């Protein structure tokens, strides 16, 4: 008997981001509210990080709630129906349970029916990984439209007495609808990792260690200088690789939207990449804080709200963080002018 030849599908030739959505925690937390237990000052935090205040969600609001709000806005603005979505990918490090995932609940609540749904954990690079996956799913013919969301409620995982990272972190979600396009709207993604720096940022202690009485309840911490140096030296190279892979130069960019980790890192990137003065640089960190997987789509959403003329232009986006992991690609900014939340 001859074995039947398998059918292997290919989908759409090109993809693009149709629209963005955003949800920021409704509480505005300024530096003064955090400095007491970490022996810091408003001046130190502003100078070292560029953060003036961060947005956090109240106790009763979850990462799923933020994801649903952002996802609904992106779907509404995309012009597609929720039931056309074939996959929902949520990038997050703030799911309070190991299982089930955040994404299945989000899919159900946004009306995406029985769409494929899964979470990915690539920390602050999560959104760039999820965009790469959405692009692949649409081009492979697995889904026509993919809802990508970066969603975090990091305030649930910080210790108010930790002075290494807690003051950086905020809560929010950013969403994008990815679908077929007549032109290339998402470039080849540059994705990678460096597990030799596994311990540089992440949770202090484990849940199993806590149960055994070996460590305190796990919370976020980092070796800030290690991450800072790695980001400035290595990530500028990754950003350049993404430009090269896309076949464009810094002069072709309308916007630069890096992960919002620290304003000094953003400034350093701009210098090393020799970005022309005309390139809009996302600086959402000043008032939102570092929202990990949510930070790039939130920053992109704000940039388009403040500069609707950037729609249709090219944006270089790069994420990097715990793992360590990184991801970057060039995208065509969607042609909507989303509202600020």
Buried b / exposed e across 285-301, counting CB within 10 Å, b at 16+?
Answer: bebbbbbbbbbbbbbbb
CA distance 89 to 130: 6
Closer residue to ligand COA (CB): 186 or 238: 238
Closer residue to ligand COA (CB): 57 or 123: 123
Closer residue to ligand COA (CB): 38 or 250: 38
Closer residue to ligand COA (CB): 75 or 125: 125
Instruction: List interacting residues with ligand COA (CB under 6 A).
Output: 38, 40, 44, 48-49, 124, 163, 167, 201, 222, 224-225, 227-228, 231, 261-262, 265, 290, 321
Residue 38's nearest CA partner among 219, 202, 159 is 159
Minimum distance, C-beta of residue 13 to ligand COA, in the bound complex (Å): 36
Question: Are the beta carbons of 144 and 177 closer than 8 angstroms?
Answer: no
CA distance 81 to 83: 5
Minimum distance, C-beta of residue 51 to ligand COA, in the bound complex (Å): 9
Q: Is the peptide bond before 148 cis (omega within 30 degrees of 0)?
A: no
Closer residue to ligand COA (CB): 115 or 293: 293
Residue 74's nearest CA partner among 149, 152, 143, 176 is 176
Minimum distance, C-beta of residue 226 to ligand COA, in the bound complex (Å): 8
- DSSP code, position 166: G
Minimum distance, C-beta of residue 197 to ligand COA, in the bound complex (Å): 11
Number of neighbouring beta carbons within 10 Å of residue 305 = 16
Handedness of CA 158, 287, 173, 259 (dihedral sign): negative
Minimum distance, C-beta of residue 289 to ligand COA, in the bound complex (Å): 10
CA distance 129 to 121: 9
Minimum distance, C-beta of residue 25 to ligand COA, in the bound complex (Å): 17
- DSSP code, position 339: P
Residue 256 to residues 55, 209, 279, 300, Cα–Cα distance (Å): 22, 41, 7, 9
Residues serving a catalytic function are 124, 259, 290
Closer residue to ligand COA (CB): 94 or 262: 262
What's the distance, Cα to Cα, between the start and end of the chain in Å?
62
Number of neighbouring beta carbons within 10 Å of residue 14 = 14
């Amino acid at each position: 008997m001859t074995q039947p030849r398998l059918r292997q599908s290919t989908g759409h030739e090109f993809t693009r981001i149709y629209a963005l959505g955003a949800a920021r925690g409704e509480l505005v937390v300024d530096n003064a509210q955090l400095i007491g237990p970490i022996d810091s000052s408003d001046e130190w935090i502003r100078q070292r990080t560029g953060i003036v205040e961060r947005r956090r969600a109240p106790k009763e609001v979850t990462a799923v709630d933020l994801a649903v709000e952002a996802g609904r806005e992106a779907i509404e603005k995309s012009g597609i129906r929720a039931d056309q979505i074939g996959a929902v990918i949520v990038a997050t490090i703030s799911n309070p349970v190991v299982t089930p995932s955040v994404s299945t609940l989000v899919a159900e609540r946004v009306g995406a029916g029985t769409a494929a749904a899964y979470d990915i954990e690539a920390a602050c690079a999560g959104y760039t990984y999820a965009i790469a996956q959405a692009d692949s799913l649409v081009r492979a013919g697995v889904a026509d439209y993919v809802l990508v969301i970066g969603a975090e409620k990091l305030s649930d995982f910080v210790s108010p007495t930790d002075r290494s990272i807690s003051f950086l972190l905020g809560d929010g979600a950013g969403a994008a609808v990815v679908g077929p396009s007549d032109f290339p709207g998402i470039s080849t993604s540059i994705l990678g990792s460096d597990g030799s720096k596994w311990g540089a940022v992440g949770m202090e202690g484990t849940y199993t260690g806590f149960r055994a009485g070996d460590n305190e309840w796990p919370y976020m911490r980092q070796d800030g200088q290690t991450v800072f140096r790695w980001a400035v030296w290595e990530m500028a190279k990754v950003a350049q690789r993404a430009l090269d892979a896309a076949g464009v130069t810094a002069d072709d960019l309308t916007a630069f939207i890096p992960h919002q980790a620290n304003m000094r890192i953003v400034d350093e990137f701009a210098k090393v990449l020799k970005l022309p003065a005309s390139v809009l640089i996302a600086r959402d960190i000043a008032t939102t804080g570092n929202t990990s997987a949510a930070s790039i789509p939130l920053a992109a959403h704000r940039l388009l709200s403040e500069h609707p003329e950037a729609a249709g232009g090219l944006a270089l986006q790069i994420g990097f963080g715990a793992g360590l992991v990184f991801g970057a690609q060039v995208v065509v900014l969607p042609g909507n002018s989303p509202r600020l939340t």
